[in-house]
């Protein structure tokens, strides 16, 4: 609007206050229109009006963009936190391994960088826990009855501790554990056979994941224990340095973990980058059963040889019977002629 002020208006009233500039310009514009004997051309008036509106919208748009960013930022933060909470609560969560009971599968050794693992919370809504699964679970009463909660009595400190543990930045509640399922409800587990192997229903397990921290590679004997229905028997991969179902609750059936206490299945090692990978879920029972069903190599050809021997007389008899039948048919045809 300032650009449309005629030069003679500025010379006649130099002392007029600045806040009257726009009204002065409007008056001068009207005077100019009257003196010229008519309104300005319609095209010019429309163009000037369009330019003024465009400049006003541009100015408003610039301010609105800045204001909307600062208004939307808190909303975006809140939405991100809510989504993160929902995902952590119902889909998957990152846990930090606080001890070395699962070495070498999962690092939690003193002096090393503890592994952060992604725990899948959805799988066990559609499938049952199986032998070989590495699971995170809430410690049953028999496991934690003598352990006070690790949460801080200060509500603010407790809040930040929960946030940190939710994103794997702080140790989880000491009442949460990570172990490997060895047997499920109804199975009988014991240790050991003459080759120092754990037995389930009398069959030795195939456990390539076992880590012996020291030269002592002899497992502690226990059992036999029949795992109650609705529970699982868990043990650490660091077999001689794991407080698991063999010890908790005084051992026996009290050491079993209710399926309802299982939080989820460990899927991936997400931190540190040098340890990225899938968490092994090798089924020790299936591998042992397959190995038990395998016959020695010299016996694997026996069924084939027996089949061939049995088939040979049948083949010979069948050929002779076929030849006799053909001769009989030829004779009947000749008589018919």
Burial of 140 (0-12, 13-18, 19+ CB in 10 A): buried
Work out whether the CA dihedral 102, 267, 258, 201 comes out positive or negative.
negative
Give SS3 for 137.
strand
Contacts of residue 157, defined as CB under 8 A and 6 or more positions apart, other chains included, come to none
Determine whether 59 is exposed, middle or buried from the number of CB atoms within 10 Å of its CB (0-12, 13-18, 19+): exposed
Q: Are strands 198-200 and 92-96 parallel, antiparallel or unpaired?
A: unpaired
Residues known to be catalytic: 101, 179
Q: How far apart are CA 324 and CA 23, in angstroms?
A: 128
Backbone angles phi, psi at 139, to 5 degrees: -60, 130
Q: Is 258 helix (H, G, I), strand (E, B) or coil?
A: strand
Contact indicator for 329, 321 with CB cutoff of 8 Å: no
């Amino acid at each position: 609007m300032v650009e449309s002020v005629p030069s003679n208006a500025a010379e006649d009233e130099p002392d007029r206050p600045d806040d009257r500039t726009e009204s002065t310009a409007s008056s001068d514009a009207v005077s100019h229109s009257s003196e010229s004997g008519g309104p300005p051309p319609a095209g010019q008036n429309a163009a000037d009006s369009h330019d003024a509106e465009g400049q006003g919208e541009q100015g408003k748009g610039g301010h609105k963009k800045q204001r909307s960013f600062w208004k939307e930022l808190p909303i975006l933060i809140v939405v991100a936190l809510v989504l993160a909470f929902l995902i952590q609560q119902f889909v998957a969560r990152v846990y930090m391994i606080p001890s070395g009971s699962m070495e070498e599968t999962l690092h939690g050794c003193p002096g090393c960088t503890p592994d952060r693992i992604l725990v899948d919370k959805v799988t066990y809504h559609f499938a049952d826990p199986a032998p070989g699964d590495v699971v995170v679970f809430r410690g049953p009463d028999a496991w934690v009855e003598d352990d006070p909660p690790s949460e801080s009595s200060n509500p603010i400190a407790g809040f930040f501790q929960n946030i940190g543990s939710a994103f794997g930045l702080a140790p989880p509640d000491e009442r949460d554990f990570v172990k490997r399922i060895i047997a499920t409800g109804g199975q009988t587990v014991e240790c050991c056979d003459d080759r120092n192997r754990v037995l389930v229903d009398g069959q030795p397990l195939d456990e390539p994941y076992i880590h012996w921290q020291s030269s002592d590679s002899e497992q502690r004997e226990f059992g036999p224990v029949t795992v109650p229905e609705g529970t699982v028997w868990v043990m650490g991969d660091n077999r001689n340095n794991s407080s698991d179902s063999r010890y908790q609750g005084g051992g026996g059936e009290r050491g079993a973990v209710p399926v309802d206490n299982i939080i989820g299945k460990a899927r991936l090692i997400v931190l540190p980058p040098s340890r990225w990978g899938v968490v092994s879920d090798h089924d020790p029972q299936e591998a042992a059963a397959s190995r038990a069903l395998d016959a020695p190599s010299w016996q694997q050809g026996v069924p084939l040889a027996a089949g061939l021997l049995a088939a040979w007389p049948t083949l010979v008899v069948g050929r002779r019977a076929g030849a006799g039948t053909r001769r009989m048919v030829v004779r009947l045809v000749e008589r018919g002629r």
